């Protein structure tokens, strides 16, 4: 066996070696990474390797399977690896800081990788991360009634527990003052149509208000996101002093479990099916629906309790009912009524079914019992 084949075999064994953490991408956790940074000593996935290429002074990448590895580099990888690198580069990640997963958008992964290795913000002897729950700056915000993005000044104050934004640059009174209690921020790059698109939601008069914003700078928008998370964690700690930080951190951000178009009928179930955009918030156990994906307000919400409380979901529609354009039906039964949906394809139907089952099988947490109402929300329009 030549050097080439022998070294490749050693690396492939190293990827599977127990206690190394090499079986998952060091940066996003994706399974079976087959790229590596031979300057940092980490195994990473193809997507993350693309980010590493942007700072060659700090990281150099090779494919485990396709590139030639010299003996010295294989030695280096053997003595480093993902768990050791994690101990070094992630020694002090603040509790609020969002660590991206494989399914997250590129800007989140990119900024995490840069913060970790390029700026070395989380090393034990590194500089302190400067993010706090206070921040001020400009974001491009989508107009409520038209699709135009306008530059708006945003001010986040963890002490006041508020995020405010202003329509006039020197304006004294904010257009909105959003309480951190109700605030959620989640990257929605596809829906917004911008690689840095962030959706900020809050509750207003029983509905969910959506703001869609972005910033040209990837660092700036991810810093905003993590500052909002810092402020939210500060709020949650004050509001629920009896809960440990480890239980509060997962409550900071709510990512939608699933989104997409379905058709729904009204409460009598004889109304014509109408196409709506749906977003499933698993943590709040709410299915929100909108006329269009970027609407400022939802049209209505369906609360999804647990199976024990009598909530059920099943495939198909009642015998005498059918969707307008779409046939793949779903029925949700709540203690109050039945909700009928039609999905654009069997694939979508399967994904929605799995997502609803996931939510209904989750027990209501102590946090939920403390905060959420069990109303069905405003009735459909």
Enumerate binding residues for Zn ion (CB under 5 A). 25, 27-28, 30, 45, 48
Q: Which is nearer to Zn ion, 25 or 236 (CB)?
A: 25
User: CB of residue 44 vs Zn ion: minimum separation in angstroms?
Assistant: 5
Rounded CA gap, 83 and 88, in Å?
9
DSSP 24: B
User: CB of residue 258 vs Zn ion: minimum separation in angstroms?
Assistant: 23
User: CB of residue 26 vs Zn ion: minimum separation in angstroms?
Assistant: 8
Q: Which is nearer to Zn ion, 101 or 379 (CB)?
A: 101
User: Bridge partners of 201?
Assistant: 184, 210
User: CB of residue 39 vs Zn ion: minimum separation in angstroms?
Assistant: 17
With CA atoms as reference, report the closest residue to 256 among 315, 184, 171: 184
Q: Which is nearer to Zn ion, 38 or 356 (CB)?
A: 38
Phi (first) and psi of residue 60, to 5 degrees: -130, 135
The gap from C-alpha 164 to its chain's centroid, in whole angstroms, comes to 22
User: CB of residue 112 vs Zn ion: minimum separation in angstroms?
Assistant: 10
Q: Which is nearer to Zn ion, 48 or 343 (CB)?
A: 48
Phi (first) and psi of residue 151, to 5 degrees: -75, 125
User: Do 22 and 14 meet the contact criterion of CB atoms below 8 Å apart?
Assistant: yes
Q: Which is nearer to Zn ion, 27 or 263 (CB)?
A: 27
User: CB of residue 249 vs Zn ion: minimum separation in angstroms?
Assistant: 22
Q: Which is nearer to Zn ion, 37 or 376 (CB)?
A: 37
User: CB of residue 122 vs Zn ion: minimum separation in angstroms?
Assistant: 17
SS3 31: strand
Q: Which is nearer to Zn ion, 48 or 131 (CB)?
A: 48
Q: Which is nearer to Zn ion, 20 or 134 (CB)?
A: 20
With CA atoms as reference, report the closest residue to 264 among 296, 287, 285: 287
DSSP 251: G
Q: What is the CA angle 199-259-247, rounded to 5? A: 65
Rounded CA gap, 180 and 171, in Å?
22
User: CB of residue 24 vs Zn ion: minimum separation in angstroms?
Assistant: 8
User: Do 109 and 46 meet the contact criterion of CB atoms below 8 Å apart?
Assistant: no
> What are the DSSP E strand ranges found in the chain?
35-37, 42-44, 61-63, 134-142, 149-157, 162-166, 176-179, 184-187, 198-204, 207-214, 258-264, 274-281, 286-290, 300-303, 312-315, 328-333, 338-343
């Amino acid at each position: 066996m030549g050097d080439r084949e022998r070294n490749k075999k050693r690396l492939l064994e190293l990827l599977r070696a127990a206690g190394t953490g090499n079986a998952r991408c060091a940066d996003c956790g994706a399974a079976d990474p087959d790229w590596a940074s031979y300057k940092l000593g980490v195994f990473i996935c193809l997507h993350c390797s693309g980010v590493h290429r942007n700072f060659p002074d700090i990281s150099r990448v090779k494919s485990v399977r396709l590139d030639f590895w010299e003996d010295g580099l294989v030695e280096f990888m053997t003595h480093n690896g993902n768990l050791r690198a994690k101990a070094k580069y992630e020694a002090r990640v603040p509790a609020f800081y969002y660590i991206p997963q494989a399914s997250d958008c590129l800007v989140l992964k990119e900024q995490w990788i840069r913060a970790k290795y390029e700026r070395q913000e989380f090393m034990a002897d590194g500089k302190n991360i400067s993010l706090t729950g206070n921040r001020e700056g400009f974001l491009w915000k989508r107009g409520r009634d038209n699709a135009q993005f306008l530059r708006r000044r945003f001010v986040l104050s963890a002490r006041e527990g508020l995020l405010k934004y202003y329509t006039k640059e020197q304006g004294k009174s904010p257009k909105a003052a959003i309480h951190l209690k109700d605030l959620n921020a989640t990257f929605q790059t596809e829906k917004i149509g911008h690689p840095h698109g962030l959706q900020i939601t809050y509750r207003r008069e029983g509905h969910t208000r959506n703001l869609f914003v972005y910033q040209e700078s990837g660092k700036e928008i991810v810093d905003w996101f993590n500052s909002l998370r810092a402020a939210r964690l500060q709020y949650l700690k004050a509001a629920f002093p009896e809960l440990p930080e480890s239980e509060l951190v997962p409550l900071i951000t709510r990512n939608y479990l699933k989104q997409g178009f379905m058709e729904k009928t009204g409460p009598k179930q004889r109304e014509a099916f109408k196409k709506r955009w749906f977003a499933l918030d698993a943590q709040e156990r709410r299915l929100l629906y909108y006329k269009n994906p970027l609407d400022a307000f939802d049209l209505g919400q369906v609360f999804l309790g647990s199976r024990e409380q009598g909530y059920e979901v099943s495939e198909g529609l009642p015998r005498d009912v059918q969707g307008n354009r779409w046939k793949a039906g779903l029925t949700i039964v709540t203690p109050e009524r039945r909700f009928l949906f039609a999905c654009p394809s069997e694939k979508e139907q399967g994904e929605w079914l799995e997502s609803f089952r996931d939510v209904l099988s989750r027990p209501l947490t102590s946090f939920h019992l403390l905060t959420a109402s069990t109303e069905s929300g405003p009735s459909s329009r």
